[in-house]
């Protein structure tokens, strides 16, 4: 096994359990590690730190897998970690009692950095984001079949993160047949159809699952604007459970909007109007028409994919939040989200403050939310908390 030596003064975060060794922390190698190879990581004095998977093509040179020098990273390793992940969802959170769609494995949050597994009814959708894990795909599938017997396993390793890791895009069945065109699931009583092959991420934005329900108490009798509606989850919760007076759902993607319409029909939501178009442009049109709403939901895609994008991302967030404040009636509710890990809470609140100042509106944060608990945050990897969801009253 090759050894990766860290630069002096760089080992402390990894002794404490942070799983990402970036290229700038590496001093030298003993041996010539191949991409995907399991390596030993030591400090500048040669003291053992951890073992992990090396990848010379990634800025994250080593994704740490175990801090126990005697623990083998083999098929049994994956089964142990997967069982712990399943126990959290089934025993601690009790998710199967009220939904058949949730995140079963959340990468660093479950001690399996680079592995995502989402459950949709009888299907487990796997997304591999680590080259080391990609070379051990057979072990992962065998462990999933052991821990979750009877489930079909489908792969969606086609994200931009996988590309940066040097992983060849892969979409297809790993165990069992091809999934149907759409898989029906139920979340908090709302039925949704999921496209496992072509949908964003693995089909749904499951990290927002509990935030969808959080809008329900604020929707009754209000006119609702749902921006970046995707397949309509926020709109449906506001309409069906929240008893909104009406909902306008705006989405750029024609295919996503077509599925949103089917989801509305499936749930008997007849008061949702769907609008295909650029959200920025449509919000400006609504402002020009002097339309107002009692509840506005902003759930945009990731605006900042790296630290270099932060400034432009904050401009984009301010733009849509400023217009939303102008569209809200006095005392209206703004639900505003960011899934950009590189934009932290302080930056996001500062952006809201600027938008409030520029619109001469007073904004009160009444609830600060994050990703659903099936996306647990590891205390050793604070980056595993990325989703921000603020519920605000705008006066």
Active site residues: 339
CB-CB contact of 154 with 174 (8 Å): yes
Main-chain dihedrals φ then ψ at residue 73, nearest 5 degrees:
-100, 85
Q: Please state, in angstroms and rounded to a whole number, the distance separating the CA atoms of residues 4 and 20.
A: 13
Q: Please state, in angstroms and rounded to a whole number, the distance separating the CA atoms of residues 51 and 63.
A: 8
CB-CB contact of 129 with 155 (8 Å): no
Q: How far is CA 199 from its chain centroid?
A: 13
Helices 345-359 and 310-327: crossing angle, nearest 10°? 40
Which of 190, 338, 321, 353 is CA-nearest to residue 265? 190
Which of 60, 66, 65 is CA-nearest to residue 165? 60
Q: Please state, in angstroms and rounded to a whole number, the distance separating the CA atoms of residues 2 and 19.
A: 18
Which of 256, 291, 294 is CA-nearest to residue 275? 256
Chain length of the chain: 395
């Amino acid at each position: 096994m090759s050894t990766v030596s860290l630069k002096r003064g760089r080992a402390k975060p990894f002794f404490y359990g942070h799983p990402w060794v970036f290229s700038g922390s590496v001093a030298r190698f003993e041996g010539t590690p191949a991409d995907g190879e399991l390596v030993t990581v030591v400090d500048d004095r040669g003291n053992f730190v951890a073992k992990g998977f090396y990848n010379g093509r990634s800025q994250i040179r080593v994704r740490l897998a175990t801090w126990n020098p005697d623990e083998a990273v083999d098929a049994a390793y994956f089964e142990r970690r997967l069982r712990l992940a399943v126990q959290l969802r089934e025993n601690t959170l009790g998710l199967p009692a009220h939904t058949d769609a949730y995140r079963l494995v959340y990468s660093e949050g479950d001690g399996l950095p680079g592995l995502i597994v989402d459950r949709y009814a009888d299907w487990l959708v796997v997304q591999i984001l680590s080259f080391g894990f990609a070379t051990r795909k057979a072990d992962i599938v065998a462990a999933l079949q052991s821990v979750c017997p009877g489930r079909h396993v489908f792969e969606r390793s086609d994200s931009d993160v996988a590309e940066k890791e040097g992983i060849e895009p892969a979409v297809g069945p790993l165990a069992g047949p091809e999934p149907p065109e759409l898989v029906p699931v139920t979340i908090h009583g709302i039925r949704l159809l999921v496209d496992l092959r072509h949908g964003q991420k693995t089909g749904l934005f499951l990290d927002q699952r509990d935030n969808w329900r959080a809008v329900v108490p604020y929707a009754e009798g209000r006119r609702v604007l749902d921006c970046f509606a995707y397949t309509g989850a926020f709109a449906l919760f506001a309409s069906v459970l929240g008893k909104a007076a009406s909902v306008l759902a705006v989405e750029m993607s024609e295919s996503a909007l077509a599925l949103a319409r089917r989801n509305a029909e499936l749930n008997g939501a007849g008061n949702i109007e769907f609008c295909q178009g650029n959200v920025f442009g449509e919000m400006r049109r609504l402002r020009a028409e002097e339309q107002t709403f009692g509840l506005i939901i902003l759930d945009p895609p990731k605006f900042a994919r790296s630290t270099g994008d932060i400034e432009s991302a904050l401009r984009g967030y301010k733009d849509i939040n400023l217009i939303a404040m102008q569209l809200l009636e006095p005392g209206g509710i703004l639900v505003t989200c960011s899934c950009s890990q590189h934009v932290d809470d302080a930056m996001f609140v500062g952006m809201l403050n600027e938008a409030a100042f520029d619109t001469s509106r007073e904004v009160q944060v009444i609830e600060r939310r994050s990703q659903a608990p099936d996306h647990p945050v590891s205390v050793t990897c604070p980056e595993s908390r990325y989703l921000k969801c603020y519920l605000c009253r705008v006066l």
